[in-house]
Structure 1
Amino acid sequence: MTTSVPALAELSALVDNSGAHAALRDRLLTTLAADRTPRPDEDRAHRVHRRLRLLAGQLPPVEELFAAPEQLAVVGACAGLVDPPLHMAVINHYLLCLGSVVALADDPAEIGAPWQALATGRTRGVFLVTEVGDASSHLGTRTTARFDPATGEFVLGTPSAGAAKFSSVGGAGVPQAAVVCARVEAGGADRGVFSFVVELTDEAGPLPGVTLSPTVEAPSLPLDYALVRFDGVRVPYRQWLRDGARIDADGGFHDPLDGPDSRLARTLSVGQGLWATLPSAVAAMARQSAVQALRFSAHRRAHGRLAPGTRVLELRNQQHALLGALAESFALTCAARYAQEVWARSRAAASAPRGNGMTFSPWTAVDRPLAVLKAVTVRGAARVTDECRHRCGLAGFLAPNGLDGYHGFADAFETAGGDSQLILLDAGRALAQEDEAGRPAGPPPEPPADRCGWWPSVTRSHEARLRSALRHSVRRAPAGRSGLELWNPLLAPARELGEAYGARLVADAVTDAVAAVRDPRLRDVVEALAALYGAVSARREAGGLLAAGTLEPAAVRALPGVIDGLCDRLLPHLPLLAEALGAPPGVVDVPLGADDYATALLSRLAR
C-alpha cells in the first residue's frame, strides 16, 4: 500500500483525538517548539513557571477550558511530547489545582485574588495530597484544618513529620499556591477530608507558617520537589472548597454527603480528569519513542560477523521489539480515546462518588475504569519507552535523544497520580466480589492468532477465568476471615485479575478503533497492527495465560511465527505508520531518527 493522502488523513485522525481542538494543538506545539532552548540565566523552577505561563497565554479562559475539558488532554499531550517535566507542572496546575477549584468551589470567583492569580498563570498551582510518613496516606490524611469559630477561619497544621506533604514545590522565587487536602476539625469532631486553596510562596520565599524543605531530586522526572509543612497557617472560609458543606454561625456542621468515605472520594474525584487525560500524553510519548527508534534502526548498520553492514531493522528480534512497541503505542492511543469517552459519560451522569469499596486505596471507588486505564497505560508506555531505549543502544540513553525523558515520565506515574499497584489490587478485589464474577469462563480462544479479534477474545476469557478462580478462593476461606486476614494470601491473584481487566479494556478499545476504519486498504494495515499488539502481549504474558488455562501450549509455541508474519505484513507500510503516529515535523527536536544520526548529534551538542 502506497501512502495515499486519504489513508494518511484517516489514520492521522484515528491517532490524533484533538478533533475540534486541532487549532489549539497546533498553536501549543508551535509555541513550545519555538521556546525549546533554555535561557542561560534561568533555573529549572523559573523555566517551568515561564513555560506554564506561555501555555496559559495560548489557552481559553479557565471557565471555557473546563467547559470542554477534552482540551486538557490536548494540552497534556502537547506538553508531554515536547517537555515531559512541563507536563507534570500542567497536571498539577490545571487538572489537580484548578480542577479542584472548578469542581468543588461553589463560585471560584469568591476566592478572590488567589484564584485570579492561579487562573491567569501568574501563580503556579500545585496539589498537596500525598504525605510522606505512611503508605496509602490518602486514606489516613493527618494534615489538619481546625475551624476557629472566633474568626471564621481554618488553621492549617502538620502534626508530625510523617504528615508533611510532598510535591514539586521547590525552587526559590516562584509564586505558588496549592490545593491542600486536609482533615477538617470543627465542633470538636473530625468532619472528613476537604480541600483548601492555600498560598505557599511569593517571590521572596515561603509565606508565614509554611515551611519548605531543601529541594529533593527525583531523576526520573526532574523537577524541584520538596516537603511542605504548615504551622498555624490561617485560611479564610472562602478558600475552603466546601462542595456544598457549611458551618453555621452556631458552629453546626453540615455536609450533603453521607459519610467520610464519600467525602474523601468526592475530594479526590479530581483524579478523574488526570486519569482521563494522562493516557493521551503517555500514548503520544510511546508513539514518538517507537517511531524514532524504528527510524534509527532503519538507518543504523551492524557489523556482526553473520552479515556485516546489515541494517539493524532487518534483524527479527529488532522487528519483534520495535514493531511490537509501535503496535502497543497504537493500542495505548486507542485506550486514551476510550478514557476520554468514559470521562465524558461520567461528567454527563454527574453522580457523586460514594466511596464504597475503599480498601487498598481510594482510587477505584472514585472511578474504576478510569483509574485502571491510568494504571495500564502508564505501564504500557513505560514498557514501550524502555524497550525503545534499549534497542537504540547508547543513543537511547542520551538525554538529547529524548527517550530517557519519556521513560522517566511514564515510570514516575506508576506511583504518581494514584499508585498503579494499589489500583489494580482494588479492582481485582472488587471484581471478584461482584455478582457477574461467577459467570463461566468459556473455552480457550481458538486460533488464528494473526487476526485482530483473537487477543480481545483471549483477554475476555482470561479475565473470566481469573474472576472465577479468585471468587472461589474467597468462598473457600475459613469462616470468620475478613479484612487483611482474608485478603493477604490473595493479593497476587487480585492484582492479576486487575491487570486482566485492564488488558481487556485496552483490547476492546483497539477493537472499536479498528472497526471505525473506513478505507479497506488502511483497515488491512490497522488490523495487522492490532493483531501484532495481541500476539506480542500474549507472548509477554504467556506464563499467566498458560497457568490459568486460557491458552494451550501449542498456541504459545506458535506465537513467534505469528509475529514474524505480522512484521512482514507491516514493514512495507512503515512510512505511512511513522508519518501518522509520529509528531508533526519540527515539533520534537532530537537527533535520533535523523538520516545521519552522528552528524545530527554533533550539531545538537555544538549549540
Structure 2
Amino acid sequence: MSMGTSPDGDLAGFVRGASPGPKLRERLADAVPEEFFTYPDGLTARDHQAITYARLRRAGLAAPPGSELLDDPPALCALLERAAIADPALFHVMMLHYTLALGPTVRFGTGQDGPGTAREALESMDSFGALLMTEVGRSNSHLSPRTIARHDPATGGFVLHTPDVQAAKFPTSTAHPDLPKTACVYATLVHGGEERGVFVFAVPVRGPDGAVPPGVRVVPAPETTGLQVDYAAVLLEELHVPYEAWLRDGASIDAGGAFHDPAGSPAARLTRSMGIAPAVWRAVISACAAITRASAGMLLAHSAGRSTLGRLAPRRPLTDYRNQQEAVLGALASAYALTAVAAHVKGRRTAADVPAGGPDTAWAPWSAVDRDLALLKAASTVTAQETVSMCRVHSGAPGFAAVERLNAYRGLTHAYMNAGGDNELILYDTARAMADLDRYTPPEEEAGPPDGGDLDSPRVPLFLAREAERRMRDRLAGRVRAAADGGADPFTAWNDNLALAARTATACADRVTLEICEAAAQAGPAELRPVLRLHALNWMARRADGLLDEGVVPPGWLQDVHAARRRACDELAPRAAELAAAFELPPVITAPTAFLTGG
C-alpha cells in the first residue's frame, strides 16, 4: 500500500461529482488556500478566533457572492468542504454565515422593503453571521421559543425580549469582543394577544468595532477545545428593531394593526421559518464526506510502508495485519459511501426549497421540513464520527498528539450530532412518521434473498436492509398501537419504545444510504463497485445484531460476512493508494508525523 499513485481519472471525477468546473474549483481553492490549514503556535483563544474570522472574510471576498453560492448548492458545498478539511472551526463559522445568517435574509427578505443593511453587511463580509435559535433552559426549544417579538405601533418596528436567563440563546458565535456580528434571531411573534408563530429577525448584535448595542447582553462561555468558536449566550432586553429587521416571508402587519400570514397557522409558520435547514444539512453531509476522505487519506499515509516489530513476524508491513488493513480500507469505503450520499443531496431539490407539508413532528421541527434529508444528516454524522475516530485510534499516538487535525475532525462530527438538528430527535420523528405511515411507504415483502443470498451480490445488502426496516417498523407500530389500545397516553406509548424507534429510523437511513450507493455503483466507474461493496459488507457486520434479532439472517451468518470482507479487502488492498489519490487531498493533509520533516 504505497502512496504516490496518480489518481484514477474516473474515480476522481466521481469524487468531484457535480462540483463546479475547473475555473470555479480553482477560485474556491484560492478562497481557502493551504495557509488556512494550520495556525501559528502560542495563540490565545481570542487570537485563534480572530484569525478564523479574518480567514472567513478573506474567503468570502475571494469566492463568488454569497447569494450566488446559496443558489448553487454544489458550489457552496465545494467551498465548505475545503473549509472543513482545512479547519473545522472555519467550516462552522462559514456555514453559519452563509446558510443560517445570509440565507434567511435572502430567503425570507421581501425585496425593496427587506433588511438591506443586514444583507449587505453579510454579503460584503463587513459583518459576520451568527444564529440565535436554541434556548439554553428548555429542551426542544425550537418548537416554541420563549424569546418574544412584539410589534410596536409607536415606531412601526418590533421589541424583542428574553424573559429570563432560561430563555437565553445558546450556543451562539458572538463572544469575540472586537468583531462585528449580525444575528438571525428566532422569536415567537405575539400580536393581538395571540402567538402567531416563530419568525426570524435580522439583528446586529455587535457593531463594526465589536461593541454591543443597548438591549443586547452577551455572556461569553468558557473556552473549549472541542470546536474552537467564540461561544456565548445572548439575552435580548427590550431590544427595539425596525420593521425591516423582520424577515417576514410574505407576512405583514397593516396600518390598522391586522396580522396576515400566508403560512396559515403557527405550526406551518414554524416549518417555513425552519426552511433554511436543507442548506445546512447539505453542507454538513458534504463536510462529513470531505473530512472522512481526509481522515482515510491520513490513515493510509500513516500506515503505508510502516514496518512492525511484532514477534510473530518482525519487519512485517503494518498493512499485512488484517486489523490495520481492514481499518484503512474500511475508512476508504466509508469515504466513498459518504461521497455518494453528498453527491445525491447536492443534486436534489428538497421539500423546503418549494415549501410543502411534511410529516407531523413531536420532538423537533426538522422532519416536517424534509424528513429524508434530515435523516441522512443524522446518518452521515454518525458514519463520519465512527470513521474519523477509528482513523485516529489506528494512527496510534501520532494521531492523537502530533497534529490536531484528526481530533478537530472528530470534534466537528461530535458537534453536528447535536447541531443542525439533534440526531436522536430526528430519528424519533422519522420513526413516528414510519409507524403512522405518514408520507412513508414500507419496503415490500420479498419471497427470499436474491441470488441465493450470495454476499458478493450487490442485491443482497439491499434485501437485508429492506427486510430489517419493514420488520422493525411493523413491530414498532404494533407496540405503540397496543399501548394506546391499553389506555396509555401518547407520551407513555412512545416513551417506552424510544430505543426501538431509534433503531427503526436508523434502519430506514441504512436502506436509503445503501440505495444511493448502489445507484452510484451502477452509474459510476467500474473501479467504484468493489469499494462500495466493502462498505455494504461492513454495514452487515455492524448491524449483525439487529439483523439476527429480526430473524432476517440465520445464526452463523456473521462468519460468512467476515469471510466476504476478507475477500473484498484482498481485492482492494493493492489499489488503496489509487483510491486515496482520487480524493485529490491537498499535500498538507499528510501523515501525523509530518512536523518532523517540516511538513
TM-score (norm 1): 0.92
1:28 aligns with 2:28: yes
Aligned pair partner of 2:513 in 498, 506, 513: 506
The partner residue of 1:417 within 397, 401, 420 is: 420
Are residues 1:497 and 2:504 paired?
yes
SS in structure 2 at match of 1:313: helix
- Trace 1:194-213 onto structure 2 (pairs within 5 A): 194-202=199-207, 203-213=209-219
2:569 aligned partner, one-letter code: C
Superposed CA deviations along residues 302-353 of structure 1, whole A, max 9, x for unmatched, are 22211122221110011122211211111111111111233x2547xx5324
Contact 1:451–1:527 (CA under 8 A) maintained in structure 2: no
The answer to whether the 8 Å contact 1:102/1:108 transfers is: no
- In 1, the alpha carbon distance for the partners of 2:159 and 2:447 equals 58
Distance 2:101 2:318 in 1: 46
| Deviation (angstroms), 1:582 | 4.5
Partner of 1:13: 13
Indicate the residue corresponding to 1:153 in structure 2.
Answer: 157
Matches for 1:390-539 after TM superposition, within 5 Å: 390-398=393-401, 400=403, 402-434=405-437, 436-437=441-442, 439-440=444-445, 443=448, 446-479=452-485, 480-518=487-525, 523=526, 525-539=527-541
Matched residue, 1:92: 96
Q: CA 1:109 to 1:174, structure 2 compared with 1: closer, same or farther past 3 Å?
A: farther
Distance in 1 between the 2:195 and 2:402 partners? Answer: 48
Aligned to 2:257: 251
Structure 1 residue 444: Cα displacement? 5.0
Amino acid at match of 1:477: A
Give the gaps of 5 or more residues in structure 1: none
Partner of 1:113: 117
Which of 62, 69, 74 is residue 73 of structure 2 equivalent to? 69
Cα distance change of structure 1 residues 572 and 327 upon mapping to structure 2, 3 Å threshold: same
1:291 and 2:284 are equivalent in the alignment: no
SS of the residue 2:271 aligns to? helix
The correspondence for 2:51, drawn from 47, 50, 69, is 47
Q: Secondary structure at the match of 2:228?
A: coil
- CA apart distance, 1:464: 1.4
Q: Is the 8 A contact 2:169 2:235 kept in 1?
A: yes
| Identity %, equivalent residues | 35
The superposition leaves residues 518-542 of structure 1 with CA deviations (integer Å, 9 ceiling, x where unpaired) of: 5xxxx1x322111111111111111
C-alpha separation in 2, matches of 1:5 and 1:457: 36
Unaligned stretches of 5+ in structure 2? none
**Partner of residue 576 from structure 2, selected from 569, 574, 577:** 574
Query: What letter corresponds to residue 150 of structure 2 in structure 1?
Result: R
Bigger shift: 432-441 or 560-569?
432-441
Deviation, structure 1 residue 143: 0.6
TM-score, normalization by structure 2: 0.93
Deviation at residue 2 of structure 1 after TM alignment: 13
Q: Distance between the aligned counterparts of 1:541 and 1:220, measured in 2?
A: 29
Tell me the CA shift for residue 108 of structure 1. Answer: 7.0
Distance apart, 1:355 and its partner CA: 6.0
Could you list the per-position Cα deviations for residues 457-516 of structure 1 after superposition, in whole angstroms to 9, with x for gaps in the alignment? 221221111112222223322424342122111111111111011111111111111111
Q: Which shows bigger deviation, 217-226 or 361-370? A: 217-226
Q: What is the aligned partner in structure 1 of residue 376 from structure 2?
A: 373
Give the residue type in structure 1 aligned to 2:522: A
Within 5 Å, which residues of 2 pair with 1:588-603? Answer: 588-592=588-592, 597=593, 600-603=594-597
Q: Distance in 2 between matches of 1:23 and 1:240?
A: 38
Correspondent of 1:172 among 170, 177, 198: 177
Cα 1:116–1:75 shift into 2, 3 Å: same
Specify the SS of the correspondent of 1:301.
coil
Quick one: structure 1 residues 31 and 104, their matched pair in 2 at CA, closer, same or farther if it must change by over 3 Å? closer
Maintained 8 Å contact 2:49/2:228: no
Aligned-residue CA RMSD (Å): 2.4
Quote the Cα distance in structure 1 between the aligned partners of 2:294 and 2:180: 34
Q: Distance in 1 between matches of 2:112 and 2:389?
A: 42
> What letter corresponds to residue 420 of structure 1 in structure 2?
N
Is structure 2 residue 250 aligned with structure 1 residue 262? no
Distance of 1:216 and 1:2 partners within structure 2: 44
- 1:358 and 2:361 equivalent? yes
Q: 1:395-421 CA distances to partner (integer Å, 9 max, x unpaired)?
A: 111262511111111111000000011
The DSSP-based 3-state class of the residue aligned with 1:183 is: strand
Q: Secondary structure at the match of 2:304?
A: helix
Partner Cα separation in structure 2 for residue 330 and residue 394 of structure 1 = 26
What are the superposed Cα offsets for residues 243-293 of structure 1, whole Å, 9 maximum, x if unpaired? 011001111111111211111111011011111222111101001101210
- Deviations, residues 535-556 of structure 1 (Å, cap 9, x unaligned): 1111111111110112222321
- Output the amino acid matched with 2:98: Y
* Pair 302,589 (structure 1): closer, same or farther in 2 beyond 3 Å: same
Aligned residues: 589
Name 1:104's counterpart in structure 2: 108
Pair 1:221 & 2:223 matched: no
Aligned pair in 2 of structure 1 residues 23, 81: CA closer, same or farther (>3 Å)? farther
Q: Is the 8 A contact 2:278 2:350 kept in 1?
A: no
Q: Distance in 1 between matches of 2:83 and 2:351?
A: 25
Letter matched to residue 286 of structure 2:
S
Q: Give yes or no for contact 1:444–1:461 (8 Å, CA) kept in 2.
A: no
Shift in CA distance, 442/216, structure 1 to aligned 2, threshold 3 Å: farther
Q: Give me the whole-angstrom Cα distance separating, in 2, the residues matched to 1:250 and 1:109.
A: 19
Distance 1:449 1:3, change over 3 A: farther
Tell me by how many angstroms 1:4 deviates: 14
The aligned amino acid for 1:119 is E
Distance 1:355 1:504, change over 3 A: closer
One-letter identity of the residue aligned with 1:28: L
For the 8 Å contact 1:440–1:468, the answer to whether it is kept is no
